[in-house]
Amino acid sequence: MTKAIEVSGVSVRYNVNGEPALKDVSFDIDEGEFVLLVGRTGSGKSTLLNTINGVIPHIINAQSEGSVRVYGKDPKTTPLKDLSQIIGTVYQTPEDQIFSLIVEDDVAFGPENLALPSDEIRKRVDDAIGLVNLQGKKRFPTFLLSGGQKQRLVIADALAMRPKIMILDEPTSMLDSLGTSEVFSTLKKLRDEYGMTIIMAEHKVERVLGLVDRLILIHDRTVAIDKPIRQALMEDLNSYGIEEPQISFLYKKIDPGASMAPITVDEFLEKEAGFASFASGRHLQVEDALPPSGDPVVEFKDVSFMYEKSKNYVLEKMNFVIKKGEYVSVVGPNGSGKTTALRLIAGLQKPTLGDVRLMGISVSKIKRLDYSSLVGYVFQDPDQMLFNSTVLAEVEFTLRLRGMGKKEADKIAEGVLDLFSLRSYRDENPHRLSVGQRRLLSLAAVLVNKPKILLLDEPTRGLDWRTGEEVLDFVGQLVREQGETVITVSHNMKQASDHSSRMIVFYNGSVVADGDPRSVFSLSLEHPEWSLVPPQVFQLSARVKTEPAAIKVDEIEPLLQEYRSYSGHRTPRCPS
């Protein structure tokens, strides 16, 4: 088998006297393998990928030891123009890699810089656009593409260089379920039909299980697990801060000594053929949230909104009420108006028709300075919020703006930084932090002012599972202890069901469903256009017809333990 990538004893330092970003990392990847790279935020995944593709040291200055070979070439000494024809790289934010206004012009950008003949460029453009299924968008403006289409365009940009290897660094972190599926379907096609070698860093482990051959886990800046995917899932991934797919987690409750875990509901039921009949009709003990009793905090009354120079409404005749102390997840496909609704609540836009009210007052009558203590808004892209020269200055900015003294503001800001493990970075420039750390900083900068209404647009984007859970647990604590009202936009259905008591589904600028997560997931089964993929535990529970269907792992765990005893199931095996 031909070795596509060989990594041996690699260590990387950004500062000569600083802590290593990677320590003694070694592994090989065979040609045609699809490898999933996982690890907590800051574990060194991006550093590793940038070492393989030559960004380190050609663009990012860092000290490295050990050896990397890509089809026998050393990325350190191979010019980037040559590496770009061996390795294609796709990063988290597609806008950072799109240079042209028209789709086909963007795909042609790379080959044109190689000074290829026009006929060859045209063929490469057509082939790459066809591979990612954007044939109907060749002359389409790049800025009008959906999130999933933009990411597929960036993949096409890389494919036009005819690489043998594709590297992807969290390519779906900002995409909804539909966009994620589009990107993963493209990657599956590249692997199955063209034998491309793919290495992808991704937090959505559950969504990629049917694609990948192998999992490499980076922990404490080195390789902690390197196994075929079904064997890797029998490891305790949670202990490393990585989210375990629910179906493999549940299977281990039945057979903790198995050598391989199922990755889909079908595989689970195939391995445990008796579970469906055992569970059918069984009643689960669940605790649904009580209806909210607080006063209305946010009210949309026949709200319609149209952006300037647009002819179409983004929101149309929208009505809903959110009460004090509610934790609401707004869900739905990209482009359905979720972020626009948050911007209306935050006072950044004004409704074209209708009225938005906060605490019973129309947003048009609320003074701008009062907004900072009433509404806190954490943007989807943290870089749009960070503009100070240090981390500490970023957090204390609003406090100082409101007239607080420097000494008191410093004390409060440092306390908030402690909550998010950012105090050691207090004197760093915010833009030198990782994506996940910038996300935490943006949240800290908003929470320091103790707003009554907290708006979170994709609050865990760019964060590993454990850090994301810690953030959402902290937000939940604000709801329980301080009566905070939280409205979050999310594409993560597991987090939405685990943390929120209510889900509002947007579709084409309208509210199409509004209720507790269990009822919304049940409705979504009949509406694939909503782009909601319920958690695996709900899918399993609905398949075997428990009453009601579970939305959280702990709701079905007692039934699994009972099934294990009933079926005389296996006890853990001793390692052979």
CA 475 and chain centroid, separation: 18
User: Which whole number is the average pLDDT over 240-258?
Assistant: 91
Query: Which residue in 34, 41, 73 sits closest to 184, CA to CA?
Result: 34
Helices 177-194/147-159 angle, 10° precision: 20
pLDDT of residue 568: 66
Average pLDDT, the chain: 90
Q: Are residues 24 and 135 in the same domain?
A: yes
Q: Are residues 499 and 556 in the same domain?
A: no
How would residue 92 be classed by pLDDT, with cut points 50, 70 and 90? confident
CA 186 and chain centroid, separation: 18
Q: Are 209 and 175 in contact (CB under 8 A)?
A: no
Q: Is 538 left (phi over 0), alpha (psi -120 to 50) or beta?
A: alpha
Range with the poorest average pLDDT among 9-18, 430-439, 444-453, 508-517: 430-439
Q: DSSP secondary structure string, 199-218?
A: EEE-S-HHHHTTT-SEEEEE
Q: Are residues 97 and 218 in the same domain?
A: yes
Q: Are residues 268 and 174 in the same domain?
A: no
Q: Which tokens in the block code for residue 427?
A: 């004197």
| Residue 162 placed within a domain | yes
- For tokens 């797919």, the residue is 245
User: Which whole number is the average pLDDT over 280-290?
Assistant: 87
Q: What angle do CA 260, 263, 264 make, to 5 degrees?
A: 140
Range with the poorest average pLDDT among 95-109, 173-187, 201-215, 552-566: 173-187
| Measured distance CA(320)–CA(506) in Å, rounded | 11
Q: Are 246 and 494 in contact (CB under 8 A)?
A: yes
Beta-carbon contacts of residue 378 (< 8 Å; ≥ 6 apart): 385, 442, 443, 446, 454, 455, 456, 457, 459
Of 469, 485, 515, which marks where a domain is finished? 515
| Residue 410 placed within a domain | no
H/E stretch holding 328 reads strand 327-331
Of 215, 244, 273, which marks where a domain is finished? 244
Q: Are residues 15 and 102 in the same domain?
A: yes
Higher per-residue confidence, 173 vs 523: 523
pLDDT of residue 571: 45
H/E stretch holding 131 reads helix 118-131
pLDDT of residue 194: 86
Q: Are 393 and 411 in contact (CB under 8 A)?
A: no
DSSP category for residue 289: P
How would residue 573 be classed by pLDDT, with cut points 50, 70 and 90? very low
Helices 391-401/435-447 angle, 10° precision: 20
How would residue 569 be classed by pLDDT, with cut points 50, 70 and 90? low
pLDDT of residue 576: 38
Number of H-type helices and E-type strands within the chain:
22, 19
How would residue 382 be classed by pLDDT, with cut points 50, 70 and 90? confident
What are the tens digits of pLDDT across the range 24-44?
A: 999 999 999 999 999 988 789
Q: Are 464 and 41 in contact (CB under 8 A)?
A: yes
Task: Give the CATH number for residue 68.
Answer: 3.40.50.300
| Residue 362 placed within a domain | yes
| Residue 338 placed within a domain | yes
| Measured distance CA(215)–CA(231) in Å, rounded | 9
| Residue 31 placed within a domain | yes
| Measured distance CA(67)–CA(31) in Å, rounded | 18
How would residue 129 be classed by pLDDT, with cut points 50, 70 and 90? very high
Q: Are residues 114 and 36 in the same domain?
A: yes
Q: Are residues 160 and 237 in the same domain?
A: yes
pLDDT of residue 5: 97
User: Which whole number is the average pLDDT over 227-255?
Assistant: 93
What are the tens digits of pLDDT across the range 8-21?
A: 999 999 887 778 99
Residue 96, judged by CB atoms within 10 A of its CB (0-12, 13-18, 19+), counts as exposed
One-letter identity of residue 434: S
pLDDT of residue 575: 41
318 pLDDT more than 60? yes
| Residue 117 placed within a domain | yes
pLDDT of residue 499: 93
User: Which whole number is the average pLDDT over 168-185?
Assistant: 79
Q: Are residues 265 and 176 in the same domain?
A: no
Q: Are 492 and 460 in contact (CB under 8 A)?
A: yes
Q: Are residues 455 and 507 in the same domain?
A: yes
Predicted structure pTM score: 0.84
pLDDT of residue 546: 96
Sign of torsion over alpha carbons 60, 66, 72, 78: positive
User: Which whole number is the average pLDDT over 172-179?
Assistant: 71
Burial 74-88 (b: 16+ CB within 10 A, else e): ebeeeeeeebbebbb
Q: Are residues 234 and 379 in the same domain?
A: no
Domain that holds residue 459: 296-388+436-515
What are the tens digits of pLDDT across the range 191-230?
A: 888 889 999 998 888 888 888 999 999 999 999 999 999 9
369 pLDDT more than 80? no
Q: Are residues 207 and 65 in the same domain?
A: yes
| Residue 422 placed within a domain | no
Of 481, 515, 549, which marks where a domain is finished? 515
Higher per-residue confidence, 484 vs 505: 505
User: Which whole number is the average pLDDT over 295-306?
Assistant: 96
Does the N-terminal peptide bond of residue 548 adopt cis geometry, omega within 30 degrees of 0? Answer: yes
409 pLDDT more than 80? yes
Task: Give the count of domains, the chain.
Answer: 3
Residue 434, helix vs strand vs coil: coil
Q: Are residues 505 and 542 in the same domain?
A: no
| Measured distance CA(16)–CA(20) in Å, rounded | 9
Q: Which tokens in the block code for residue 426?
A: 């207090």
Please give the backbone phi and psi of residue 51, each rounded to the nearest 5 degrees, phi first: -75, -35
| Residue 396 placed within a domain | no
| Alpha helices for 487-527 (secondary structure H) | 493-499, 517-524
